Amino acid sequence: MSRPGGGSVEGSGEMKARGLLACLVAFVIVPATMLVIAPPARAYGSTALWQIGFSFNCNDKTLCLTPPFGVGGFWGWVEFDAGGLGDATLTGCSHLSTSIGVLTGADHLNVDITAWEIGPSSMLPLPTFHLLAGTVTLSGVDFKGHPITVSLADIGLTGDTGYPAIPGHYSAQTVFGMSAPPGMNFEIQVVAL
């Protein structure tokens, strides 16, 4: 029996079987083999011990329009590596703050951590990460397009970070035992690698 345009009906069953076999190889066998062959990927190298993501937001004009802040927030990521090293990237954005003498807009910080430790917290009833040394490059609206790099100590960023050194998700409720006021929120996610 033949099909319009040529070819046989009997051959189409064989074609379907070959197509199914090809799909099986492509979607099951190849990925399974890759799991065995490929080493695990680590986006920032193999020395990372901890990663922290955080978000702090305030949209209440009464609570937030106090220097040096404004309505808005700041968000970031920190990685603590073996050997006391680490990195952090933070971005903050304030709105309506020109009324209090602070420029409105976004600022960015890139931190190169050269010494850190875990120690008792000065703020929380659990151990936290402490920055001991490093540099930060600041850029954005408050720096008028001219990035500057200074030591963490020079701008008061050494010491207790307030980030818990215990894996988990933290909010105002979990850290302080109460919800953040209306219009405010903060979240911290700590992951041990």
Instruction: Provide the residue-wise pLDDT of the chain in tens; the chain has 193 residues.
Output: 555 555 555 555 555 445 444 444 444 444 444 444 444 445 556 899 999 999 988 888 777 766 556 788 889 999 999 999 999 999 988 776 655 555 667 888 899 999 999 999 988 888 999 999 999 998 887 677 789 999 999 989 999 998 999 999 999 888 777 888 888 888 999 999 9
Q: How far apart are the first and last CA of the chain?
A: 63
Q: Is the pTM of this model over 0.85?
A: no
**Nearest in space to 140 (alpha carbons), one of 111, 104, 91, 106:** 106
**Nearest in space to 155 (alpha carbons), one of 107, 121, 118:** 107
